[in-house]
Amino acid sequence: MYDLSKGADWLNQFLTTYMSPWLAVVVECVIIGVVLLLAYALLALFYIYFERKVCAAFQCRLGPNRVGPFGIFQSVADMFKILIKELISLNHIDKFLFALAPYLVIIASMLCFAVLPWGKGIQVIDFNIGIFFLVAVSSIGVLGILLAGWSSNNKFTLIGALRSGAQMISYELSIGLSVITMVAFAGSMSISDIVNQQQDLWFIFSGHIPAIIAFIIYLIAGTAETNRGPFDLPEAESELTAGYHTEYSGIHFGFFYLAEYLNLFIVAGVASLLFFGGWMPLHIPGWDAFNHVMDFIPSIVWFLIKAIALSFVIIWFKWTFPRLRIDQLLSLEWKYLLPINLANLVLMVVVICYGLHF
């Protein structure tokens, strides 16, 4: 397995050789920030194209096929279109909170995106409470959505914001309990520790039934947390025009759009880290030759394959199931997912205490 941290060490030594230590740190922070922003933008463009093609295949259509070969530049054209759109000025709104809301949403998304380990040695920072940090900063996004709905001074946006608040606060409980279940199994909240413990066997296999239950609940709750169908009530077009971002235009609307697709990647990425080994290759105990071949695949490729595969499952949900009513959505969480999650956490503790895992 290639350790890509050597490149970062070389860059650090090169900069400290020709610069003072504080200036080298500043330059490194700028480089990391630029790389993260580029990766953020490119992933968003890819996911927009990816979902359009997937939903087109489900509906027996072609999807984007005009701009570039196979329509691959359609997302780029849409990006330029949204950048040059006018920011419409509205009366009778809270202008400061209205302008602040999309930035809160994008900042929460960016903070989560920045701490994901993409491969061996490719991580901006490795907290000893990395999973706790991820869960904490992901909660900031709901503030932006609530502010967007309330500050717009529009009944449709307010209803969408209230729905989103109720939905995200409810389903954060299931996400948190699923994460706690796997943290208990790993015995650590450090993302690197959790990934390294899956070197020989991924947790989805070694964690027995509790890990499988936690994964299924996490996937359902993660879909709801990102406001994607069939849990897209906060922006239900048939009822609320466009929901909480009805009054937004131009780049401000683009921020909400970007954050939705990157949150999809983040949810899938965290699932791959907790259940499928993150950037760890597939190893089967006793199959030394097979394991050796798997090690030749770069770690960043493993992580991206897993994240995109799980994203496909979440997109599949959206284009397969009909939208739930608000009462059905909340009943699913409070009457079914939450009790099952609590029981599953107790079951995982029993598995750990009696050594019933592989």
Residues 21-49 pLDDT 10s: 888 888 888 888 888 888 888 898 899 99
How many Å separate Cα 262 from the centre of its chain?
6
Separation between Cα atoms, residue 316 and residue 64, nearest integer Å: 18
Decide if 74 is inside a domain. no
Q: Residue type at 345? A: L
As a three-state string, the secondary structure of the chain is CCCCHHHHHHHHHHHHHHCCHHHHHHHHHHHHHHHHHHHHHHHHHHHHHHHHHHHHHHCCCCCCCCCCHHHCCHHHHHHHHHHCCCCCCCCCCCHHHHHHHHHHHHHHHHHHHHCCCCECCECCCCCCCHHHHHHHHHCCHHHHHHHHHHHCCCHHHHHHHHHHHHHHHHHHHHHHHHHHHHHHHHCCCCHHHHHHCCCCCCHHHHCHHHHHHHHHHHHHHHHHHCCCCCCCHHHCHHHHCCHHHCCCCHHHHHHHHHHHHHHHHHHHHHHHHHHCCCCCCCCCCCCHHHHHHHCCCCHHHHHHHHHHHHHHHHHHHHCCCCCCCHHHHHHHHHHHHHHHHHHHHHHHHHHHHCCCCC
State residue 282's pLDDT score.
86
State residue 53's pLDDT score.
92
Decide if 51 is inside a domain. no
Counting Cβ atoms within 10 Å, is residue 72 exposed (0-12), middle (13-18) or buried (19+)? middle
Cα torsion for 343, 349, 351, 352, to the nearest 10°?
Answer: 160
Q: Residue type at 240? A: L
How many Å separate Cα 154 from the centre of its chain?
29
Overall domain count for the chain: 1
State residue 56's pLDDT score.
92
The encoded tokens of residue 319 equal 């284009």
Q: Provide the domain limits for residue 135.
A: 86-353
Decide if 33 is inside a domain. no
Peptide bond into 230 cis (omega under 30): yes
In this structure, the number of other CB atoms found within 10 A of the CB of residue 352 comes to 16
Decide if 249 is inside a domain. yes
Decide if 195 is inside a domain. yes
Separation between Cα atoms, residue 172 and residue 135, nearest integer Å: 9
Looking up tokens 């001074």 gives 153
Decide if 26 is inside a domain. no
Looking up tokens 């070389």 gives 10
Cβ neighbours for 41, distance < 8 A, ≥ 6 positions apart: 258
Cα torsion for 102, 104, 108, 109, to the nearest 10°?
Answer: 10
Global pTM reads: 0.90
**φ, ψ for residue 119, nearest 5 deg:** -175, 180
List the chain pLDDT tens, one digit each, 358 residues.
Answer: 566 667 777 777 888 888 888 888 888 888 888 888 888 888 988 999 999 999 999 988 888 888 888 889 998 898 888 888 888 878 888 888 888 988 988 888 888 888 888 888 788 888 888 898 988 888 888 888 888 888 888 888 888 888 888 888 888 899 999 999 999 999 889 888 999 888 888 899 888 899 999 999 999 999 988 888 788 877 766 666 767 778 888 888 888 888 888 889 999 999 999 999 888 888 888 888 888 888 888 888 899 999 999 999 999 988 888 888 888 888 999 999 999 999 999 999 998 888 776 6
Separation between Cα atoms, residue 276 and residue 283, nearest integer Å: 11
Decide if 54 is inside a domain. no
Decide if 67 is inside a domain. no
State the first-to-last Cα distance of the chain, in angstroms, to the nearest integer: 23
State residue 358's pLDDT score.
62
